[in-house]
Amino acid sequence: MSEETLQFRNPEQAEQLADRLEALMVEVDGPVNLMHVCGSHEQAIAKFGLRSMLPDGLSLRMGPGCPVCVTNMPEVDEAVAVANQGAIVATYGDMFRVPGTKQSLADARADGADVEIVYSASEAVELAEENPDEEVVFFATGFETTAAPTAAILVDDPPENFWVLSAHKYVPPAMEVVAEMPDTDIDGFLAAGHAATITGYGLFEPFVEEYEIPVVVGGFEPIDVMLGIERLLEYISEDVAGLENAYPRCVTREGNRAALETMWSVFEKTSGEWRGIAEIPGANLALREEYADYDARERFDVEPETGGPDPLTEQCVCGDIMAGKADPDECDLFGEECTPGNPVGACMVSSEGTCKIWHEYGGHP
């Protein structure tokens, strides 16, 4: 482990920050609801037991920050439909077992479809190059951090037997929807540091101005998270809707301009349903007209499955969890009918899913 990592895992500093949070909560003099928007934050919080260090009255919930979890069931159905039409579907491993209406990609593979797990968009291109007589479709999921690399391969003339099925999502509009939900009542957002390396923290300036809710961009070591919470509480105690970059070793105000330019040259924002949350204007990333030749939706029949999912799936409250309205242990299926070995909802599949993380760390972490 590097010196720098150890520095951000210093238990004494964590204790000092916990004391500082306690003092700030006295100043605030009332309950505070914070939301982070990233599965990696939830992993750090659970792994290092950070919730146990928070003062009474301070709630820290996970929002719509797991890209696998917010991928809508019809989008999984589209990938399954493409696989069942004979194309090779390349997918990130986290998506492999996410349930669709009738099948997951894992089910499709068990029934004979060719589904390959890749670790990057460029690996999906390699798959197309290695299989020139096959049609290869990359099921492109994730937020800005993976949308930018998907865009980079499309501007680089991929082979003609390569297509993209975009289920990429764009986080800021989802934060707006959550901020507007009457029953969530969020006092501050801890924004994801890795997405901000691409977008820059300046992206949140209009949000802070419009919604008058403080936003702090945070990293993923325990001290990063505690510092982010400290800054949010400071803003709340001062009644200031501020914006701060608490992850300056990786994030700048402008972000990665070249990656952003490439991303917006390939994708445009469209309205789309985030699983279990809402139809969110501008929160899906679709391929622009100029890239229609690479668009799997133009090449394949991706009509959605008819009929609803099985009754057990309808009991899944993953959407409420990602909107900050429920915790995993409030779901009747948590740890019983729904486990990582037998997931009912997407939140139990992904390593960034709150249910999977809570299950791994033994309940309410």
Q: Which residues bind ligand SF4 (CB under 6 A)?
A: 316-318, 321, 328, 331, 333-334, 338, 344-345, 347-348, 355
Nearest to 190 by CA among 206, 201, 177: 201
**Burial classification of residue 209, based on how many CB atoms lie within 10 Å of its CB (0-12 exposed, 13-18 middle, 19 or more buried):** exposed
Q: For ligand SF4, which is the closer residue by CB, 192 or 316? A: 316
The 3-state DSSP class for residue 48 equals coil
- Residue 9 CB, shortest distance to ligand SF4, in Å, is 29
- Residue 97 CB, shortest distance to ligand SF4, in Å, is 12
- Residue 351 CB, shortest distance to ligand SF4, in Å, is 13
Task: In whole angstroms, give the CA distance from residue 209 to residue 124.
Answer: 40
Q: For ligand SF4, which is the closer residue by CB, 293 or 330? A: 330
- Residue 221 CB, shortest distance to ligand SF4, in Å, is 27
Task: In whole angstroms, give the CA distance from residue 181 to residue 129.
Answer: 46
Q: For ligand SF4, which is the closer residue by CB, 222 or 343? A: 343
Q: For ligand SF4, which is the closer residue by CB, 37 or 338? A: 338
- Residue 346 CB, shortest distance to ligand SF4, in Å, is 6
- Residue 277 CB, shortest distance to ligand SF4, in Å, is 13
Q: For ligand SF4, which is the closer residue by CB, 258 or 312? A: 312
Nearest to 309 by CA among 106, 104, 101, 69: 101
Cα→Cα distances 171→18, 151, 280, 281, Å: 29, 17, 10, 11
- Residue 95 CB, shortest distance to ligand SF4, in Å, is 15
Nearest 5°: CA angle at 296, between 154 and 94?
80
Task: In whole angstroms, give the CA distance from residue 328 to residue 317.
Answer: 8
Nearest 5°: CA angle at 105, between 151 and 321?
80
- Residue 312 CB, shortest distance to ligand SF4, in Å, is 8
| Structure tokens that stand for 72 in this block | 């809508």
Task: In whole angstroms, give the CA distance from residue 93 to residue 98.
Answer: 10
Asked whether the beta carbons of 212 and 180 are under 8 A apart, the reply is: no
Q: For ligand SF4, which is the closer residue by CB, 58 or 316? A: 316
Q: For ligand SF4, which is the closer residue by CB, 238 or 310? A: 310
Rounded to 10 degrees, the C-alpha dihedral 146/148/154/155 comes to -160
Residue nearest to ligand SF4 (CB): 345
Q: For ligand SF4, which is the closer residue by CB, 164 or 338? A: 338
